[in-house]
A and B are shown apart, each in its own frame.
Chain A
Amino acid sequence: MKLTELPLKKIGEVVDIMADPNKKRRLLDLGLTEGTEVIPKRRSPSGDPTAFLIRGTIIALRSEETDLIEVEKK
C-alpha cells in the first residue's frame, strides 16, 4: 500500500520508493531505505502533511511524497 494510506499509529515497512532519481534520493537521505519502519504519528488538521516517526525523528511529509512510497503494513 502507499504510505499515504497507512493509518495513524500503525507500523509500516518501506518496500520501495517510486520517484524520479532526485526525489528518491532526498527521501532516502531522510532514512527511508528499504526495510525501514515508519509510523504515522499525527496528521495536520487541514489533512495534508502527516508527521512520521522515521528512525527516531519526527519528519513531516506531504501526500505528494508519501504517494510515492510503497509500504507493507506490519
Chain B
Amino acid sequence: MGLTAQSSGVNLLRESFNIDGDKNNPVVALAGNPNTGKSTVFNGLTGLKQHTGNWPGKTVTQAKGYYTYLSQEYTVVDLPGTYSLLASSIEEQIARDFICFAQPEVTVVIADATNLERNLNLLLQVTELSERVVLCLNLMDEAERKNIKIDLNGLATDLQVPIVPTIARDEKGLSDLKKVIDKIVNQEVQLDPIKIKYSSKIEEKVEKIVPELNKQFPNLRKNINIRWLALRLLEGDRTIFETLEECYDVNLKNKKVVERRQ
C-alpha cells in the first residue's frame, strides 16, 4: 500500500473533514502563521480550481483546491493560519485535527522568511504529528531586502525537512514545491524530521506513558503518533480520547452507510 490514500479508513476520515475521499487524490495541507502569504501560495498552486466552504460544524472558512503535476491530480487544503497547534482556539484545533486525523500525504508549512523563529515554532509542532513535512520559505524577496541571510543548507540539516524558497507573489519557486511534494508522495525521499527534545523531566514521563499506551491500544500506532498522544495526556488533555473516538466513530458510521449502499 503506497501513500496514495488507498486505505478506505483514511478516505472516510477525510470525508468527515469535507475532503473528497472518493477522488483518491494525494492531499497536500498548507499550514502556516497568519500573514506569511499562505493564501498566495494556495492561489499560486491551484489557480482557479478552488472551492470555499466551511469546516464541518465550524464557522471557519475552508478553502480547498486542485492542481495537476505530472498527470497526477492533487487536492490542496488551506488550513487556518495559526501560530501554534496547541488547540487553544478553534482554528488551531482544526489545523491540528486535520494533520493528525486526515493524515495529509504532505503538509507544507509556509513560513515568513523575514521572521523565521516564530514560524519554526509551528513547524516543530507539525513534525510532532507528521513525518511528511516540507518547509516553504516564502517572502524571500523581502528577506533579501531586509538583509536577512538564511543558511538554507544549515537549516535543512538542522530540521531534516526539504526546504523550498519561494516568492509566491511572483510565482517563483512554486514548481520546485510541486516537485518536492511529488517526490514525497511517490516515496522517493524518506523523511525523518527533527523532533523537539523536551526537558529530561518531561521526556522521562513520556517514556513511561508510551509503553502503556502501546499495551492498551496496540492498533492505535497505525493511526496516530503515540509520542504525541502521550505528550497531550501529560499536559492534562483528558478530552483527547473523546476526540479520537469521535473521529474513529464517524469513520465507523460512514463505513456502515457505505456498506448499506453497496
Q: Which residues of B contact A56 (CB under 8 A)?
A: 114-115, 117-118
Q: Which residues of A contact B117 (CB under 8 A)?
A: 55-56
Quote the shortest CB–CB distance from B31 to chain A (angstroms). 15
User: Within residues 68 to 111 of chain B, which ones have a CB less than 8 A from any CB in chain A?
Assistant: 83-84, 86, 88-89, 92
State whether the Cβ of A44 lies closer than 8 Å to any Cβ in chain B.
no
Q: Which residues of B contact A26 (CB under 8 A)?
A: 88-89
State whether the Cβ of A20 lies closer than 8 Å to any Cβ in chain B.
no
Which B residues fall within an 8 A CB radius of A? 33, 83-84, 86, 88-89, 92, 114-115, 117-118, 121
Q: Which residues of B contact A31 (CB under 8 A)?
A: 83, 118, 121
Report how many A-B pairs have Cβ atoms within 8 Å: 24
In the complex, besides A55-B115, A56-B115, 15 extra interface pairs with C-beta distance below 8 angstroms are A25-B86, A26-B89, A29-B83, A29-B84, A29-B86, A29-B92, A30-B83, A31-B83, A31-B118, A31-B121, A55-B118, A56-B114, A56-B117, A56-B118, A57-B115
Quote the shortest CB–CB distance from A42 to chain B (angstroms). 18
Question: In whole angstroms, what is the CA distance A26 to B88 when docked?
Answer: 6
Q: Which residues of B contact A25 (CB under 8 A)?
A: 86, 88
Question: In whole angstroms, what is the CA distance A26 to B229 when docked?
Answer: 21
State whether the Cβ of A46 lies closer than 8 Å to any Cβ in chain B.
no
Question: In whole angstroms, what is the CA distance A31 to B124 when docked?
Answer: 14
Q: Mark A17-40, 1 if CB is under 8 A from B, else 0.
A: 000001001100111000000000
Residue among A25, A29, A30 with max Cβ neighbours from chain B (10 Å)? A29
How many chain-A residues does the 8 Å CB contact rule pick out? 9
Question: In whole angstroms, what is the CA distance A16 to B85 when docked?
Answer: 22
Contact A57-B118, Cβ < 8 Å, known A29-B83, A30-B83, A31-B83:
yes
Quote the shortest CB–CB distance from B257 to chain A (angstroms). 37
Question: In whole angstroms, what is the CA distance A57 to B119 when docked?
Answer: 10
Q: Which residues of A contact B89 (CB under 8 A)?
A: 26
Query: Which A-B residue pairs are the 3 nearest by beta carbons?
Result: A56-B115, A29-B84, A55-B118
Q: In this complex, what residue of A is CB-closest to B118? A: A55
Question: In whole angstroms, what is the CA distance A57 to B118 when docked?
Answer: 8
Q: Which residues of A contact B88 (CB under 8 A)?
A: 22, 25-26, 29
**A-B pairs with beta carbons under 8 Å apart, 20 shown:** A22-B88, A25-B86, A25-B88, A26-B89, A29-B83, A29-B84, A29-B86, A29-B88, A29-B92, A30-B83, A31-B83, A31-B118, A31-B121, A55-B115, A56-B115, A56-B117, A56-B118, A57-B33, A57-B115, A57-B118
